[in-house]
Amino acid sequence: MNIDFSMLMFIALVLTGMIWLWGVWAAKRKSSNKTTEPLLVEYARAFFPVILIVFLLRSFLVEPFRIPSGSMLPSLLIGDFILVNKYKYGIRLPIVNLKIFNINTPQRGDIMVFRYPYNPSINYIKRVVGLPGDRIVYEDKTLYINGNVANQKEDGEYVLSDSGQRNISTRRKIESLGKINHAILRDQRVEQPRMEFEVPTGQYFVMGDNRDRSNDSRYWGYVDDGLVVGKAFFVWFSWDYANGGGVNWKRIGTVLN
């Protein structure tokens, strides 16, 4: 829950700053230069610049996130720790997430972190499929964008674990979204009706790469630009939950596509 942690950091920043300033003001009022600085003021003076630097880095440059579910398999695994580019889609004020400077907009195929529309305290991560004005059709597990099919190529079998109790065999395919070629999973045993959407201005249509096991725009609607957090681009650590734990060394350093 990114918004809660950001708020805690902001509160810590304000408190340490106020305590430090109070210590400076109190010291000036004392006539003796030999007065010992209170321990609380000493800690505040030491921690304030550290908290400030971390707060600014997380708010405007990069922020770490952990992948808690398998909705983005096989691109992202449960236990991946990723970095998200916070300035890719523009500079936003922390806490309120208000865009103050526009740089770029989300592009089709981007892996995007955003605040869940029905509970903005929760961060979601999905792939951008539809841009403002796009007509999206999902039929027979195939994606159509403005009447053009998103081509899929067979890429073998993919076995995933269902709540750690049984293994499920799915089809891995390589889907093309413009210049982005990425893997998706399809389970032929899961049936889905034909779905059609018209993406409104200022909003985005997102889907998980694990197509039959993803809670995404097909079910709860679009992502407003005001809820966008940033673009995921790098796996800096990974814990191998699927195989009982341990560091998944092969995943560390993966550049996300």
Identity of the amino acid at 129:
V
Question: So what's the pLDDT on residue 28?
Answer: 79
Candidate list 86, 88, 126, 231, residue with the active-site label: 126
Q: Report residue 227 as tokens.
A: 């809820």
Is the pLDDT at 2 greater than 90? The verdict is no
Note if the pTM is more than 0.85.
Answer: yes
The set of residues, in sequence order, having a beta carbon less than 8 Å from that of 203 and lying 6+ positions away, is 132, 222, 223, 224, 225
CA distance 15 to 7: 12
Active site residue 126: yes
Q: Are strands 135-139 and 80-85 parallel, antiparallel or unpaired?
A: unpaired
* CA atoms within 13 A of residue 116's CA, in its CB half-sphere: 12
Residues 41-63 pLDDT 10s: 999 999 999 999 999 999 999 99
User: Residue 109: which region, alpha, beta or left (left: phi > 0; alpha: psi -120 to 50)?
Assistant: left
Highest average pLDDT, of 19-33, 87-101, 190-204, comes from: 190-204
Is the pLDDT at 213 greater than 80? The verdict is yes
Candidate list 71, 214, 217, 238, residue with the active-site label: 71
Is the pLDDT at 237 greater than 50? The verdict is yes
Residues 160-207 pLDDT 10s: 876 555 688 999 999 999 889 999 999 988 998 999 999 999 999 999
| pLDDT confidence band for 234 (50 / 70 / 90) | very high
Cα 15 to chain centroid distance, Å, stands at 28
Say if residues 174 and 219 touch (Cβ distance below 8 Å).
no
Is the pLDDT at 116 greater than 50? The verdict is yes
User: Residue 151: which region, alpha, beta or left (left: phi > 0; alpha: psi -120 to 50)?
Assistant: beta
Question: So what's the pLDDT on residue 1?
Answer: 38
- Mean of pLDDT over the chain: 91
Is the pLDDT at 10 greater than 50? The verdict is yes
The length of the chain is: 257
Average pLDDT over residues 122-147: 97
Question: So what's the pLDDT on residue 24?
Answer: 85
The CATH number, out of the four listed (3.40.50.720, 2.10.109.10, 3.40.50.300, 3.40.50.1100), of the domain defined by the range 62-243? 2.10.109.10
Average pLDDT over residues 98-127: 94
Question: So what's the pLDDT on residue 38?
Answer: 85
Question: So what's the pLDDT on residue 27?
Answer: 79
